[in-house]
Structure 1
């Protein structure tokens, strides 16, 4: 897989990006009315309240991973696994706007406190989530926070994602690339190119702004249209595989 100009982000840089993302979301919460939380989100079948309930849940879950890791203990991301996660989202989504605002704000407070306690020597501490370490969870929380803030349609979208986050998504989501083609993603707003798959397969090249390439690979609607060519002819965008 060929890559050009992919930055390496330190844990401190990602922590600062998360703090900024949390504050952006927090600033949007006071404007949430009852009608607003019942409006559709960008995710099929989910209202804005569902997305906010999910952000609340994953904020608390990742914060808990950090707290337990600092004590040298392992704990599941969600008690009860995905069924309990889904049940928590459904239960949280029926709350009124004021309760949702308070719950999300409290979860962001809990997250901020948990990650502020992580020191430079702690990032390699093991966690249960994906049998990784605290960096694994930190990256996961950054992805969840930024992607689902965009899904909530509160005024911020994938076009507002930082280039650092986009580079991370284009790497993390590499398993979504189809296996039967040689996929090339080429940014038109910076010198960046990433290739996925076997070089002997038919080549499919997708060009566009970096944020739009990341949005597409993340399963979200690009802000601007992407150009796709297969064997140097115009083509439809290929079908992506499941999330890793």
Structure 2
């Protein structure tokens, strides 16, 4: 049983609202010089990451708006090339304009998701041929992970525990196929096992937020302990995002 299936949609929506409000509070501190500084993503400034948050907020809110009408639409007009061009164009804005645009996108996201009723979560969407619940979870991941990527005061160490459990479930396909990977949180009762029981075992131990950060391809706050047959080993190479 996974967090992705068991966490109520209303709880996810409340967590998203908290994350959006946190981002709104952090935005006024941005300066024109500050948004040009590097983010956690190679080749992207903070402005690139914030421009991406703006774009994905609007794209996924659009999935909700159209699904409630019984219509399917692509997340981005023009697909990924248009998405990439919009990020680059948005990243040249000054801090005040960028902050205003992100706040407007968050307001649209809040309004779009507030319109979704209890019976609507299974409505189909074009995004990955999923449903509204899967898109809501995607927005949660995008919001929290990229807020951390922007390096504006909220990092993986601050991720909610429910999000961490969801990431450990959702990102299970990243585990190497030739290993039995065991993730053991030193501050949580639950552990995760990936891969066949007969494969060579690698155990990864550390705080829950650090395990989630590592599986998400982000830098853990504290070093993780990787062991095979009781001996320290290098971190295994993770597969692509699902």
Q: Calculate the TM-score normalised by the size of structure 1.
A: 0.97
Q: Secondary structure of 2:184's partner? A: strand
The Cα of 1:177 is off from its aligned counterpart by 0.5
* Alignment gaps of 5+ in structure 1: none
Cα–Cα, structure 1 residues 106 and 42, in superposed 2: closer, same or farther, change >3 Å?
A: same
Q: Which residue of structure 2 lines up, in the alignment, with residue 54 of structure 1?
A: 52
Q: Which residue of structure 1 lines up, in the alignment, with residue 69 of structure 2?
A: 71
1:40 equivalent among 12, 25, 38: 38
How do 1:81-120 and structure 2 match up within 5 A? 81-120=79-118
CA distance in 2 between counterparts of 1:30 and 1:210 reads: 30
Q: Secondary structure of 2:217's partner? A: coil
Q: Which residue of structure 2 lines up, in the alignment, with residue 209 of structure 1?
A: 207
Q: Which moved more, 1:81-90 or 1:205-214?
A: 81-90
What are the superposed Cα offsets for residues 222-244 of structure 1, whole Å, 9 maximum, x if unpaired? 01110000122110110101111
2:188 equivalent among 179, 183, 190: 190
> 4+ runs of 1 displaced by more than 6 Å?
3-7
The Cα of 1:82 is off from its aligned counterpart by 1.1
Q: Which residue of structure 2 lines up, in the alignment, with residue 25 of structure 1?
A: 23
Q: Which residue of structure 2 lines up, in the alignment, with residue 156 of structure 1?
A: 154
- Please report the RMSD computed on the Cα atoms of aligned residues, expressed in angstroms: 1.4
Q: Which moved more, 1:94-103 or 1:135-144?
A: 94-103
Q: Which residue of structure 1 lines up, in the alignment, with residue 136 of structure 2?
A: 138
Question: How many residues get paired?
Answer: 242
CA distance in 2 between counterparts of 1:187 and 1:204 reads: 14
* CA contact 1:74–1:128 (8 Å) conserved in 2: yes
Q: Calculate the TM-score normalised by the size of structure 2.
A: 0.97
* Alignment gaps of 5+ in structure 2: none
CA distance in 2 between counterparts of 1:48 and 1:167 reads: 27
* CA contact 1:179–1:197 (8 Å) conserved in 2: yes
